[in-house]
Structure formats: C-alpha cells, structure tokens
Amino acid sequence: MGETILELSYLISALLFVVGLKLLSHPETARRGNFYAGGGMVLAMITTLLLHKDTGGNGISLTNVWIILSAITMGSVMGWIVARRVKMTAMPQLVSLFNASGGAASALVALLEFPNADMNNLGSVLVTILGLIIGSVAFSGSMIAYGKLDGKVKDIFSGIMTYINLLLLVVVVVLSVYIMISGQTPEQLNWVIYLLLGVSLLYGIMFVMPIGGADMPVVISLLNSFTGIAAAMAGFIYNNQAMILGGILVGAAGTILTLLMCKAMNRSLLNVIIGSFGGGGTSAAN
C-alpha cells in the first residue's frame, strides 16, 4: 500500500516537473511553472521520507527522520536567505553556486553508495561511477564558474591545458575501467574510488578554467545538465523513477538550452568548450 502511494507520488512529481518546465518556457506562465516544479519536489521529498522502504522492507526510523529533517531545515534556511538577499546582478553566479551544491550532493551519494554496489553487476557499478564522475565535475566546474563570475578567479588559458584535460579524461576512463574489470571488492577498491573522485574534481576545474568569463552562462547551463545526468545515475542506483526522469529531463533540456544560448550569442558550443575564444590574448584576434 505504502509503496504504491510512494510510486504514485513519484509519478505526480515527474509530471509536475515536465509541466513546470513547459510553463517555465513561456513568459506569462513562467512563475506558475516554477511553482509547480517546486511543488513536485516537495511532494517527492515528503513521501520519500514517510514511505520509503529499503530492500529488507524497513521504513526510515524516527531517529533518521529527525536527522534528515534537521539537514533539510539547515539547507532550506541557508538557501532561502542566500537566494533572497543576493543582489539582482549576482544571480548567475548564485545559480552556479546552487548547481555546485547539487553536483556535490550527487557525488556524495554515489561515493557513499559505492561500498554497497554489487561488483558482479557491471551495470550497477557503471552508474555509480558515472554518478560520481559527473557529479564531481559539475561541482568543481560550477565552483570555478561561480568564482569567475564573482571576479574571484581569473581566466587562465594556455595551449597546454587542452592536453592536460585530455590526459585527465584518459585517467578517468582508465580508473573507471580498472574498477569495473579488476574483480576486487569495494573495500579493496576504496583508494581507486577516492583517486577517481580527486581526478574528476581536478578535471572540472581544468575544464572551466580556460573558458572566458563572458561564456560563463553557457558553461553553467552545460554543467547544470551534467548535474541532472548525475542525479539520474543516482536514480538508477535506487531504481527511483522520479530521480531518473527528473534528472534526464534536466540533462536533455539543459543541453538544448546550452545550444540555444550559444546560438543567441552567435557561438558554437565547441568554441566555447575548447576555450579558444576565451581567456585574454587569443580572443581578440578572432
């Protein structure tokens, strides 16, 4: 009974996300759309807290409910105050900051679920690793984007960075493949997973570093779609439809939005990502 209601509430939440996003893309209905999507989220949070059962059929105990509620209260108060107080001109970096916190949450969930992963089930290991990588890239990348928009981080560009980024990407792939095929237990692989976390965080930093400050909104939109995909990967870990749909929806909409933003700026996404236009000297000539 409880589980049916939970799944039903996830369905309603997912529909509210879709309708909310749809309404958000029209000027007259945008505010209502934001409200709907927020309502969907609150619904999913409440029903999960009350009705979720683990594989053994145990619900969330009262102690854990209090711990979760106190964390939610802290997050809500902080989020509310920051979002209300910040100056209108500082909105884009705030979005980036919030995106970073979403990415961090995804990375943490994947990191903590890794010890429970079934190493004989490569698919489940893969989604956990992907959640960790994408989440941490979104986190560190968004923090750098925030720093750039806030004037705390300067553009650094040099040709060698492209090669370093490629190298980091190769390391990420090698570590991931090693985790999947080594046949070791999660405990034995603990150091690899933390190394993977570190390299992914570094990659996020190096990925955003050469991109020029003016391109930051595009990059934030791209990192936002990363966060969505990371959330969807975590949704696979829990086989949670609301997370999968919500995450992929954001991933797809975010990617298209990124392309639309590029188009509005008369730029191609590739140019933005390579950063050849960005960062000081090289930009003016083109």
Partner 1 sequence: MEQILVYFFTYKEAIFVIALSIFLGIEVISNVPSVLHTPLMSGANAISGVIIIGGIILVGHADTTTLSLELILGFFAVIFGTLNVVGGFVVTDRMLEMFKKKKRP
Of residues 163-222, which lie at the interface with partner 1 (CB under 8 A)?
217, 220-221
Q: How far is the CB of 270 from partner 1 (least distance, A)?
A: 19
Q: Which is nearer to partner 1, 5 or 86 (CB)?
A: 86
Task: Quote the CA–CA distance of 32 and 283 in Å, as a whole number.
Answer: 41
- Nearest to residue 24, comparing CAs of 230, 241, 216, 250? 250
Task: Quote the CA–CA distance of 173 and 162 in Å, as a whole number.
Answer: 17
The per-residue b/e assignment along 232-265, b for 16 or more CB within 10 angstroms, e otherwise, is bbbbbbeebebbbbbbbbbbebbbebbeebbeee
Paired residues of 53 in beta bridges: 59
Q: How far is the CB of 285 from partner 1 (least distance, A)?
A: 28
Q: Which is nearer to partner 1, 106 or 276 (CB)?
A: 106
Write the CB contacts of 52 (distance below 8 Å, at least 6 apart in sequence).
6, 59, 60
| Tokens 């958000």, residue located | 24
Residues 133-152 that bind partner 1 (CB under 8 A): 135
Backbone angles phi, psi at 53, to 5 degrees: -125, 140
Q: Which is nearer to partner 1, 92 or 282 (CB)?
A: 92
Among 240, 273, 276, 278, interactor with partner 1 by CB under 8 A: 240
Among 210, 212, 247, 278, interactor with partner 1 by CB under 8 A: 247
Among 234, 272, 273, 275, interactor with partner 1 by CB under 8 A: 234
Q: How far is the CB of 167 from partner 1 (least distance, A)?
A: 27
80 binds partner 1 (CB under 8 A): yes
